[in-house]
Structure 1
Amino acid sequence: MIFSPGPFQRAAPPRKRNLCSQLVETLGSRIVRGDLKPDEVLPNEADLGKELRASRSVVRDAVKTLAAKGLLETRTRTGTRVLAPMHWNLLDLDVLGWRYAAMPREQFFRELYEIRRLIEPGAAEMAAERASAADIAALAEAYAAMDTTDHSSDAAIDADLRFHRQVLACTHNELLVQMGSVIGVGLLVSFRISSDSYGASLPRHGEVLDAIRRRDPAAARAAMERLLMGTRDSITRELKERG
Protein backbone atom coordinates (compact mmCIF):
# COMPACT_ATOMS: atom_id res chain seq x y z
CA MET A 1 0.00 0.00 0.00
CA ILE A 2 2.64 2.53 1.01
CA PHE A 3 5.92 0.94 -0.03
CA SER A 4 5.54 0.96 -3.81
CA PRO A 5 8.01 -0.32 -6.43
CA GLY A 6 10.38 2.17 -7.96
CA PRO A 7 10.75 3.11 -11.63
CA PHE A 8 13.67 0.72 -12.21
CA GLN A 9 11.36 -2.16 -11.26
CA ARG A 10 8.56 -1.13 -13.59
CA ALA A 11 10.90 -0.71 -16.55
CA ALA A 12 12.64 -4.09 -16.29
CA PRO A 13 11.46 -7.46 -17.65
CA PRO A 14 9.43 -9.42 -15.05
CA ARG A 15 12.07 -12.00 -14.05
CA LYS A 16 14.95 -9.57 -14.00
CA ARG A 17 12.83 -7.10 -12.08
CA ASN A 18 12.00 -9.73 -9.47
CA LEU A 19 15.61 -10.83 -9.02
CA CYS A 20 16.87 -7.25 -8.97
CA SER A 21 14.34 -6.15 -6.35
CA GLN A 22 15.23 -9.16 -4.19
CA LEU A 23 18.90 -8.30 -4.42
CA VAL A 24 18.23 -4.63 -3.64
CA GLU A 25 16.22 -5.74 -0.61
CA THR A 26 18.94 -8.12 0.58
CA LEU A 27 21.85 -5.72 0.21
CA GLY A 28 19.91 -2.67 1.37
CA SER A 29 18.78 -4.44 4.52
CA ARG A 30 22.33 -5.59 5.27
CA ILE A 31 23.67 -2.07 4.92
CA VAL A 32 20.99 -0.45 7.07
CA ARG A 33 21.29 -3.15 9.76
CA GLY A 34 25.02 -2.54 9.89
CA ASP A 35 26.03 -5.98 8.61
CA LEU A 36 27.94 -4.12 5.90
CA LYS A 37 29.91 -1.26 7.44
CA PRO A 38 30.63 2.20 6.00
CA ASP A 39 33.69 2.15 3.69
CA GLU A 40 33.50 -1.64 3.42
CA VAL A 41 34.21 -2.77 -0.16
CA LEU A 42 31.70 -5.14 -1.72
CA PRO A 43 32.91 -8.24 -3.56
CA ASN A 44 33.16 -7.84 -7.33
CA GLU A 45 30.09 -8.47 -9.48
CA ALA A 46 31.02 -12.09 -10.24
CA ASP A 47 31.67 -13.04 -6.61
CA LEU A 48 28.63 -11.17 -5.33
CA GLY A 49 26.46 -12.78 -7.99
CA LYS A 50 27.74 -16.21 -7.01
CA GLU A 51 27.00 -15.57 -3.33
CA LEU A 52 23.50 -14.26 -4.02
CA ARG A 53 22.75 -16.53 -6.99
CA ALA A 54 22.23 -13.72 -9.45
CA SER A 55 23.76 -12.79 -12.79
CA ARG A 56 26.31 -10.03 -13.10
CA SER A 57 23.80 -7.83 -14.93
CA VAL A 58 21.28 -8.18 -12.11
CA VAL A 59 23.99 -7.40 -9.53
CA ARG A 60 25.00 -4.36 -11.57
CA ASP A 61 21.40 -3.08 -11.70
CA ALA A 62 20.94 -3.62 -7.96
CA VAL A 63 24.15 -1.76 -7.17
CA LYS A 64 23.06 1.15 -9.38
CA THR A 65 19.73 1.28 -7.56
CA LEU A 66 21.36 1.31 -4.14
CA ALA A 67 23.82 3.95 -5.30
CA ALA A 68 20.88 6.13 -6.34
CA LYS A 69 19.51 5.73 -2.81
CA GLY A 70 22.85 6.88 -1.37
CA LEU A 71 23.83 3.53 0.18
CA LEU A 72 26.66 2.61 -2.19
CA GLU A 73 29.30 4.38 -4.25
CA THR A 74 31.13 2.82 -7.18
CA ARG A 75 34.58 4.01 -8.29
CA THR A 76 36.65 2.68 -11.12
CA ARG A 77 39.76 1.76 -9.16
CA THR A 78 38.49 1.15 -5.67
CA GLY A 79 35.31 -0.78 -6.45
CA THR A 80 31.93 -0.44 -4.75
CA ARG A 81 31.96 0.87 -1.19
CA VAL A 82 29.26 1.17 1.45
CA LEU A 83 28.44 4.78 2.32
CA ALA A 84 27.81 6.16 5.81
CA PRO A 85 24.21 6.93 6.89
CA MET A 86 24.78 10.66 6.34
CA HIS A 87 24.70 9.94 2.59
CA TRP A 88 21.56 7.80 2.58
CA ASN A 89 18.32 9.11 1.12
CA LEU A 90 16.36 8.68 4.33
CA LEU A 91 13.12 9.81 2.69
CA ASP A 92 13.29 6.99 0.13
CA LEU A 93 10.51 4.53 0.91
CA ASP A 94 12.74 1.48 0.63
CA VAL A 95 15.31 3.00 2.98
CA LEU A 96 12.54 3.95 5.40
CA GLY A 97 11.28 0.37 5.32
CA TRP A 98 14.73 -1.07 6.00
CA ARG A 99 15.25 1.35 8.87
CA TYR A 100 11.85 0.43 10.30
CA ALA A 101 12.87 -3.24 10.31
CA ALA A 102 16.29 -2.52 11.83
CA MET A 103 15.61 0.20 14.41
CA PRO A 104 13.87 0.11 17.80
CA ARG A 105 10.22 1.03 17.23
CA GLU A 106 10.44 3.90 19.74
CA GLN A 107 13.31 5.59 17.92
CA PHE A 108 11.78 5.17 14.47
CA PHE A 109 8.41 6.51 15.60
CA ARG A 110 10.04 9.46 17.36
CA GLU A 111 11.96 10.47 14.24
CA LEU A 112 8.87 10.28 12.05
CA TYR A 113 6.80 12.16 14.62
CA GLU A 114 9.34 14.97 14.72
CA ILE A 115 9.25 15.28 10.93
CA ARG A 116 5.47 15.28 10.92
CA ARG A 117 5.30 17.95 13.61
CA LEU A 118 7.60 20.17 11.59
CA ILE A 119 5.57 19.74 8.40
CA GLU A 120 1.89 19.13 9.07
CA PRO A 121 0.85 22.02 11.35
CA GLY A 122 2.31 24.51 8.90
CA ALA A 123 0.66 22.67 6.03
CA ALA A 124 -2.71 22.83 7.79
CA GLU A 125 -2.25 26.55 8.35
CA MET A 126 -1.42 27.07 4.68
CA ALA A 127 -4.34 24.85 3.64
CA ALA A 128 -6.76 27.12 5.50
CA GLU A 129 -5.41 30.03 3.46
CA ARG A 130 -5.23 28.39 0.03
CA ALA A 131 -7.71 25.51 -0.21
CA SER A 132 -10.35 25.72 -2.91
CA ALA A 133 -13.93 24.63 -2.38
CA ALA A 134 -13.13 21.42 -4.26
CA ASP A 135 -10.10 20.82 -2.03
CA ILE A 136 -12.20 21.15 1.11
CA ALA A 137 -14.87 18.86 -0.33
CA ALA A 138 -12.21 16.20 -0.97
CA LEU A 139 -10.90 16.64 2.59
CA ALA A 140 -14.42 16.23 3.95
CA GLU A 141 -14.87 13.06 1.90
CA ALA A 142 -11.66 11.63 3.32
CA TYR A 143 -12.81 12.42 6.85
CA ALA A 144 -16.19 10.79 6.20
CA ALA A 145 -14.40 7.66 4.99
CA MET A 146 -12.34 7.63 8.19
CA ASP A 147 -15.51 7.90 10.25
CA THR A 148 -17.47 5.12 8.52
CA THR A 149 -14.80 2.49 7.91
CA ASP A 150 -13.83 -0.31 10.29
CA HIS A 151 -11.22 1.35 12.50
CA SER A 152 -9.06 -1.77 12.66
CA SER A 153 -8.95 -2.37 8.90
CA ASP A 154 -6.55 -1.51 6.11
CA ALA A 155 -9.30 0.70 4.74
CA ALA A 156 -8.95 2.82 7.89
CA ILE A 157 -5.25 3.38 7.20
CA ASP A 158 -6.06 4.27 3.60
CA ALA A 159 -8.70 6.78 4.66
CA ASP A 160 -6.38 8.33 7.27
CA LEU A 161 -3.58 8.62 4.73
CA ARG A 162 -5.97 10.14 2.21
CA PHE A 163 -6.97 12.80 4.76
CA HIS A 164 -3.40 13.82 5.56
CA ARG A 165 -2.34 13.81 1.92
CA GLN A 166 -5.32 15.99 1.08
CA VAL A 167 -4.26 18.52 3.71
CA LEU A 168 -0.92 18.71 1.91
CA ALA A 169 -2.68 18.96 -1.46
CA CYS A 170 -4.71 21.89 -0.13
CA THR A 171 -1.50 23.91 0.17
CA HIS A 172 -0.95 23.85 -3.61
CA ASN A 173 2.76 23.44 -2.88
CA GLU A 174 4.19 20.52 -4.87
CA LEU A 175 7.17 20.04 -2.54
CA LEU A 176 4.84 19.62 0.42
CA VAL A 177 2.68 17.20 -1.55
CA GLN A 178 5.77 15.05 -2.09
CA MET A 179 6.05 14.66 1.69
CA GLY A 180 2.87 12.59 1.63
CA SER A 181 4.85 9.36 1.34
CA VAL A 182 6.76 10.08 4.55
CA ILE A 183 3.54 11.01 6.32
CA GLY A 184 2.10 7.72 5.10
CA VAL A 185 4.95 5.76 6.63
CA GLY A 186 4.38 7.57 9.93
CA LEU A 187 0.69 6.65 9.87
CA LEU A 188 1.43 3.02 9.07
CA VAL A 189 3.96 2.74 11.88
CA SER A 190 1.52 4.31 14.34
CA PHE A 191 -1.22 1.91 13.29
CA ARG A 192 1.07 -1.09 13.62
CA ILE A 193 2.00 -0.07 17.16
CA SER A 194 -1.59 0.61 18.20
CA SER A 195 -4.84 0.79 16.25
CA ASP A 196 -6.57 2.19 19.36
CA SER A 197 -5.16 5.65 18.63
CA TYR A 198 -7.22 5.79 15.44
CA GLY A 199 -10.60 6.12 17.15
CA ALA A 200 -9.25 8.57 19.73
CA SER A 201 -7.79 10.80 17.02
CA LEU A 202 -10.91 10.89 14.84
CA PRO A 203 -12.49 13.96 16.54
CA ARG A 204 -9.17 15.80 16.21
CA HIS A 205 -9.20 15.15 12.47
CA GLY A 206 -12.64 16.73 12.46
CA GLU A 207 -11.24 19.80 14.21
CA VAL A 208 -8.59 20.15 11.50
CA LEU A 209 -11.26 19.89 8.82
CA ASP A 210 -13.50 22.45 10.54
CA ALA A 211 -10.66 24.96 10.92
CA ILE A 212 -9.66 24.65 7.27
CA ARG A 213 -13.28 24.92 6.23
CA ARG A 214 -13.63 28.14 8.29
CA ARG A 215 -10.48 29.55 6.67
CA ASP A 216 -8.87 29.95 10.09
CA PRO A 217 -5.10 29.36 9.67
CA ALA A 218 -4.19 29.68 13.36
CA ALA A 219 -6.93 27.27 14.40
CA ALA A 220 -5.91 24.81 11.68
CA ARG A 221 -2.31 24.82 12.87
CA ALA A 222 -3.37 24.37 16.50
CA ALA A 223 -5.79 21.57 15.62
CA MET A 224 -3.12 19.66 13.70
CA GLU A 225 -0.66 20.10 16.57
CA ARG A 226 -3.24 18.65 18.99
CA LEU A 227 -3.86 15.77 16.62
CA LEU A 228 -0.18 14.89 16.33
CA MET A 229 0.51 15.30 20.06
CA GLY A 230 -2.47 13.10 20.88
CA THR A 231 -1.16 10.38 18.58
CA ARG A 232 2.31 10.71 20.10
CA ASP A 233 0.97 10.38 23.64
CA SER A 234 -1.16 7.36 22.75
CA ILE A 235 1.70 5.53 21.03
CA THR A 236 4.15 6.42 23.82
CA ARG A 237 1.78 4.90 26.41
CA GLU A 238 1.36 1.77 24.31
CA LEU A 239 5.11 1.32 23.94
CA LYS A 240 5.67 1.79 27.70
CA GLU A 241 2.99 -0.78 28.52
CA ARG A 242 4.68 -3.29 26.25
CA GLY A 243 7.95 -2.66 28.07
Structure 2
Amino acid sequence: MAAYSVRGVHGQTVRLLGERVLSGRIGEGATIDLAELSEELGLSLTAIREAIKVLAAKGLVGSRQKKGTFVRPRRDWNLLDPDVVRWQIAAGAGDVFFRDLAELRDALEPSAALLAARRRTDADVAELRAALVDIDDTAGGQTAEEAEAAAQADLRWHRALLAATHNELYARTDVFFAAGLSERDRLVHGGVHRDPVPSHARVTEAVAAGDPLAAEAAMHALLAQAREDLSRITENPVPDDDPERPQ
Protein backbone atom coordinates (compact mmCIF):
# COMPACT_ATOMS: atom_id res chain seq x y z
CA MET A 1 0.00 0.00 0.00
CA ALA A 2 1.45 3.37 -0.98
CA ALA A 3 2.21 6.02 1.59
CA TYR A 4 -0.07 9.03 1.55
CA SER A 5 1.14 12.63 1.53
CA VAL A 6 -0.21 14.79 4.34
CA ARG A 7 -0.19 17.85 2.09
CA GLY A 8 -3.57 17.22 0.48
CA VAL A 9 -6.93 17.11 2.23
CA HIS A 10 -7.25 13.40 1.48
CA GLY A 11 -3.81 12.63 2.89
CA GLN A 12 -4.43 14.74 5.99
CA THR A 13 -7.75 13.02 6.60
CA VAL A 14 -6.21 9.56 6.28
CA ARG A 15 -3.44 10.56 8.66
CA LEU A 16 -5.84 12.09 11.20
CA LEU A 17 -8.02 8.98 11.31
CA GLY A 18 -5.03 6.66 11.33
CA GLU A 19 -3.48 8.47 14.29
CA ARG A 20 -6.78 8.36 16.18
CA VAL A 21 -6.90 4.59 15.76
CA LEU A 22 -3.22 4.03 16.59
CA SER A 23 -3.45 6.27 19.68
CA GLY A 24 -6.52 4.42 20.96
CA ARG A 25 -8.68 7.53 20.71
CA ILE A 26 -10.89 5.33 18.56
CA GLY A 27 -10.54 2.00 20.33
CA GLU A 28 -10.51 -1.54 18.99
CA GLY A 29 -14.04 -2.67 18.21
CA ALA A 30 -15.41 0.89 18.29
CA THR A 31 -17.91 1.90 15.64
CA ILE A 32 -16.94 4.90 13.50
CA ASP A 33 -19.82 7.24 12.75
CA LEU A 34 -19.03 8.50 9.25
CA ALA A 35 -21.73 11.16 9.27
CA GLU A 36 -20.46 12.52 12.57
CA LEU A 37 -16.89 12.63 11.22
CA SER A 38 -18.11 14.38 8.10
CA GLU A 39 -19.72 17.11 10.20
CA GLU A 40 -16.77 17.41 12.59
CA LEU A 41 -14.16 17.76 9.86
CA GLY A 42 -16.26 19.75 7.42
CA LEU A 43 -15.76 17.15 4.69
CA SER A 44 -18.16 15.30 2.44
CA LEU A 45 -19.20 11.74 3.21
CA THR A 46 -17.48 10.75 -0.02
CA ALA A 47 -14.16 12.15 1.26
CA ILE A 48 -14.57 10.34 4.58
CA ARG A 49 -15.38 7.05 2.84
CA GLU A 50 -12.31 7.39 0.61
CA ALA A 51 -10.13 7.85 3.70
CA ILE A 52 -11.76 4.86 5.37
CA LYS A 53 -10.94 2.73 2.32
CA VAL A 54 -7.24 3.47 2.86
CA LEU A 55 -7.44 2.46 6.53
CA ALA A 56 -9.31 -0.71 5.55
CA ALA A 57 -6.53 -1.65 3.12
CA LYS A 58 -4.06 -1.36 6.00
CA GLY A 59 -6.16 -3.63 8.20
CA LEU A 60 -7.15 -0.92 10.68
CA VAL A 61 -10.88 -0.86 10.03
CA GLY A 62 -13.58 -3.12 8.65
CA SER A 63 -17.26 -2.98 7.97
CA ARG A 64 -20.19 -5.34 8.17
CA GLN A 65 -23.93 -5.15 7.85
CA LYS A 66 -25.74 -3.65 10.84
CA LYS A 67 -22.46 -2.94 12.66
CA GLY A 68 -21.19 -0.42 10.10
CA THR A 69 -17.55 0.71 10.05
CA PHE A 70 -15.51 -0.37 13.08
CA VAL A 71 -11.90 -0.59 14.28
CA ARG A 72 -10.47 -4.06 13.83
CA PRO A 73 -8.41 -5.83 16.52
CA ARG A 74 -4.75 -4.79 16.67
CA ARG A 75 -3.67 -8.27 15.57
CA ASP A 76 -5.22 -7.50 12.16
CA TRP A 77 -3.35 -4.21 11.65
CA ASN A 78 -0.51 -4.08 9.14
CA LEU A 79 2.07 -2.77 11.59
CA LEU A 80 4.78 -2.95 8.91
CA ASP A 81 3.01 -0.50 6.60
CA PRO A 82 5.01 2.76 6.28
CA ASP A 83 2.00 4.93 7.12
CA VAL A 84 1.05 2.80 10.11
CA VAL A 85 4.63 3.04 11.39
CA ARG A 86 4.48 6.83 11.04
CA TRP A 87 1.09 7.06 12.75
CA GLN A 88 2.29 4.95 15.67
CA ILE A 89 5.15 7.36 16.24
CA ALA A 90 2.95 10.43 15.85
CA ALA A 91 0.43 8.88 18.26
CA GLY A 92 3.09 8.69 20.97
CA ALA A 93 4.07 5.03 20.63
CA GLY A 94 7.51 5.80 19.20
CA ASP A 95 9.49 4.66 22.25
CA VAL A 96 7.96 1.20 22.22
CA PHE A 97 8.13 0.91 18.45
CA PHE A 98 11.80 1.88 18.23
CA ARG A 99 12.64 -0.43 21.13
CA ASP A 100 11.01 -3.31 19.26
CA LEU A 101 12.80 -2.32 16.06
CA ALA A 102 16.19 -2.20 17.83
CA GLU A 103 15.63 -5.64 19.34
CA LEU A 104 14.71 -7.05 15.93
CA ARG A 105 17.80 -5.54 14.33
CA ASP A 106 20.03 -6.82 17.16
CA ALA A 107 18.77 -10.33 16.49
CA LEU A 108 18.99 -10.14 12.70
CA GLU A 109 21.72 -7.88 11.36
CA PRO A 110 24.88 -9.09 13.16
CA SER A 111 24.23 -12.64 11.97
CA ALA A 112 23.48 -11.28 8.49
CA ALA A 113 26.86 -9.50 8.49
CA LEU A 114 28.57 -12.73 9.54
CA LEU A 115 26.90 -14.71 6.73
CA ALA A 116 27.60 -11.94 4.22
CA ALA A 117 31.31 -12.08 5.04
CA ARG A 118 31.30 -15.81 4.34
CA ARG A 119 29.29 -15.73 1.13
CA ARG A 120 29.72 -12.32 -0.51
CA THR A 121 30.54 -12.03 -4.18
CA ASP A 122 32.39 -9.24 -5.93
CA ALA A 123 29.03 -7.87 -7.03
CA ASP A 124 27.78 -7.82 -3.41
CA VAL A 125 30.84 -5.89 -2.28
CA ALA A 126 30.45 -3.44 -5.16
CA GLU A 127 26.82 -2.78 -4.17
CA LEU A 128 27.72 -2.29 -0.50
CA ARG A 129 30.45 0.19 -1.46
CA ALA A 130 28.15 2.01 -3.89
CA ALA A 131 25.53 2.33 -1.14
CA LEU A 132 28.25 3.58 1.21
CA VAL A 133 29.06 6.33 -1.30
CA ASP A 134 25.37 7.29 -1.26
CA ILE A 135 25.44 7.44 2.55
CA ASP A 136 28.51 9.67 2.43
CA ASP A 137 26.94 11.92 -0.21
CA THR A 138 23.72 12.40 1.78
CA ALA A 139 25.14 12.59 5.32
CA GLY A 140 24.87 15.86 7.22
CA GLY A 141 21.75 17.30 5.59
CA GLN A 142 19.17 18.97 7.82
CA THR A 143 16.19 19.57 5.54
CA ALA A 144 13.35 17.08 5.20
CA GLU A 145 14.41 16.30 1.63
CA GLU A 146 18.01 15.70 2.68
CA ALA A 147 16.92 13.51 5.58
CA GLU A 148 14.77 11.46 3.18
CA ALA A 149 17.70 11.01 0.80
CA ALA A 150 19.91 9.90 3.69
CA ALA A 151 17.26 7.43 4.84
CA GLN A 152 17.01 5.90 1.37
CA ALA A 153 20.80 5.60 1.09
CA ASP A 154 20.96 3.84 4.45
CA LEU A 155 18.14 1.48 3.48
CA ARG A 156 19.95 0.64 0.24
CA TRP A 157 23.04 -0.36 2.24
CA HIS A 158 21.12 -2.56 4.68
CA ARG A 159 19.29 -4.29 1.85
CA ALA A 160 22.63 -4.90 0.11
CA LEU A 161 23.95 -6.50 3.29
CA LEU A 162 20.94 -8.81 3.55
CA ALA A 163 21.27 -9.75 -0.13
CA ALA A 164 24.94 -10.59 0.41
CA THR A 165 23.95 -13.42 2.77
CA HIS A 166 22.69 -15.34 -0.28
CA ASN A 167 19.91 -16.61 1.94
CA GLU A 168 16.61 -15.77 0.30
CA LEU A 169 14.73 -15.64 3.60
CA TYR A 170 17.28 -13.23 5.10
CA ALA A 171 17.01 -11.06 2.01
CA ARG A 172 13.24 -10.88 2.41
CA THR A 173 13.41 -9.87 6.07
CA ASP A 174 13.78 -6.26 5.01
CA VAL A 175 9.98 -6.20 5.01
CA PHE A 176 10.13 -6.46 8.81
CA PHE A 177 12.20 -3.35 9.35
CA ALA A 178 12.39 -1.30 6.15
CA ALA A 179 9.57 1.09 7.05
CA GLY A 180 10.74 1.48 10.65
CA LEU A 181 14.36 1.94 9.65
CA SER A 182 13.41 4.62 7.14
CA GLU A 183 11.34 6.49 9.73
CA ARG A 184 14.09 6.20 12.32
CA ASP A 185 16.61 7.53 9.78
CA ARG A 186 14.39 10.49 8.90
CA LEU A 187 14.31 11.46 12.57
CA VAL A 188 18.02 10.95 13.14
CA HIS A 189 19.28 12.55 9.95
CA GLY A 190 17.03 15.54 10.55
CA GLY A 191 18.90 16.29 13.79
CA VAL A 192 22.36 16.14 15.32
CA HIS A 193 23.96 12.72 14.89
CA ARG A 194 27.32 11.07 14.51
CA ASP A 195 28.75 10.52 11.04
CA PRO A 196 27.25 7.20 9.85
CA VAL A 197 29.96 6.53 7.26
CA PRO A 198 32.73 5.06 9.49
CA SER A 199 30.46 2.50 11.17
CA HIS A 200 28.99 1.35 7.85
CA ALA A 201 32.46 1.33 6.25
CA ARG A 202 33.84 -0.98 8.96
CA VAL A 203 31.09 -3.51 8.29
CA THR A 204 31.55 -3.16 4.53
CA GLU A 205 35.30 -3.75 4.64
CA ALA A 206 35.00 -6.69 7.05
CA VAL A 207 32.51 -8.28 4.66
CA ALA A 208 34.77 -7.51 1.70
CA ALA A 209 37.73 -9.07 3.54
CA GLY A 210 35.73 -12.22 4.24
CA ASP A 211 36.13 -11.84 8.02
CA PRO A 212 32.86 -13.07 9.58
CA LEU A 213 33.67 -12.31 13.22
CA ALA A 214 34.91 -8.81 12.41
CA ALA A 215 31.79 -8.16 10.34
CA GLU A 216 29.54 -9.37 13.15
CA ALA A 217 31.36 -7.21 15.73
CA ALA A 218 31.29 -4.17 13.46
CA MET A 219 27.55 -4.55 13.01
CA HIS A 220 27.04 -4.74 16.78
CA ALA A 221 28.98 -1.46 17.06
CA LEU A 222 26.93 0.12 14.25
CA LEU A 223 23.69 -0.79 16.03
CA ALA A 224 24.98 0.61 19.32
CA GLN A 225 25.70 3.92 17.57
CA ALA A 226 22.24 3.83 16.00
CA ARG A 227 20.65 3.49 19.44
CA GLU A 228 22.69 6.40 20.80
CA ASP A 229 21.77 8.65 17.87
CA LEU A 230 18.07 7.86 18.25
CA SER A 231 18.14 8.44 22.01
CA ARG A 232 19.69 11.85 21.44
CA ILE A 233 16.87 12.81 19.07
CA THR A 234 13.95 11.35 21.04
CA GLU A 235 15.07 13.04 24.24
CA ASN A 236 14.86 16.38 22.40
CA PRO A 237 11.97 15.94 19.96
CA VAL A 238 10.97 18.49 17.37
CA PRO A 239 7.31 19.47 17.94
CA ASP A 240 4.78 18.59 15.28
CA ASP A 241 2.91 21.78 14.39
CA ASP A 242 0.52 20.19 11.91
CA PRO A 243 -3.09 21.02 12.87
CA GLU A 244 -5.32 18.01 13.32
CA ARG A 245 -8.20 19.37 11.28
CA PRO A 246 -7.58 19.05 7.51
CA GLN A 247 -7.26 22.47 5.91
TM-score by length of 1: 0.77
**DSSP 3-state at the match of 1:90:** coil
Conserved 8 A contact 1:120-1:224? yes
Distance 1:180 1:136, change over 3 A: farther
1:29 matched to 2:19? The reply is yes
Deviation at 1:162, TM superposition (A): 2.6
Conserved 8 A contact 2:151-2:189? yes
- In 1: Cα distance, 2:47 partner to 2:38 partner: 8
Equivalent position of 2:224 in the other structure: 229
Q: 1:68 aligns with which of 57, 61, 64?
A: 57
Equivalent position of 1:166 in the other structure: 160
- In 2: Cα distance, 1:238 partner to 1:61 partner: 35
Conserved 8 A contact 2:32-2:70? yes
**DSSP 3-state at the match of 1:103:** helix
Equivalent position of 2:179 in the other structure: 181
| Fraction of identical pairs, as percent | 36
1:131 matched to 2:120? The reply is yes
Deviation at 1:207, TM superposition (A): 1.3
Q: 1:103 aligns with which of 82, 92, 103?
A: 92
Conserved 8 A contact 1:116-1:183? no
Deviation at 1:220, TM superposition (A): 2.0
Equivalent position of 2:244 in the other structure: none
User: Amino acid of the residue matched to residue 123 of structure 1?
Assistant: A
Pick the structure with more helix per residue.
1
What do you get for the CA RMSD once the two structures are aligned?
Answer: 3.1
Distance 1:104 1:148, change over 3 A: same
Deviation at 1:61, TM superposition (A): 3.1
- In 2: Cα distance, 1:111 partner to 1:66 partner: 23
Deviation at 1:41, TM superposition (A): 0.8
Q: 2:201 aligns with which of 203, 206, 212?
A: 206
Q: 1:190 aligns with which of 177, 188, 191?
A: 188
Conserved 8 A contact 1:70-1:83? yes
Deviation at 1:56, TM superposition (A): 3.6
User: Amino acid of the residue matched to residue 162 of structure 1?
Assistant: R
Conserved 8 A contact 1:164-1:183? no
Equivalent position of 1:14 in the other structure: none
**DSSP 3-state at the match of 1:190:** helix
Deviation at 1:26, TM superposition (A): 1.8
Q: 2:108 aligns with which of 101, 110, 119?
A: 119
CA shift digits 1:83-109 (9 cap, x unpaired): 343332211111111111122654443
- In 2: Cα distance, 1:101 partner to 1:87 partner: 20
Deviation at 1:224, TM superposition (A): 1.0
Distance 1:117 1:151, change over 3 A: same
* Structure 2, gaps ≥5 residues long: 238-247
Conserved 8 A contact 1:152-1:195? no
User: Amino acid of the residue matched to residue 184 of structure 2?
Assistant: G
**Relative contact order: is structure 1 or structure 2 higher (C-alpha 8 Å, sep ≥ 6)?**
2
- In 2: Cα distance, 1:163 partner to 1:128 partner: 15
Deviation at 1:150, TM superposition (A): 4.7
**DSSP 3-state at the match of 2:63:** strand
Q: Give the count of matched residue pairs.
A: 227
Q: 2:130 aligns with which of 126, 129, 141?
A: 141
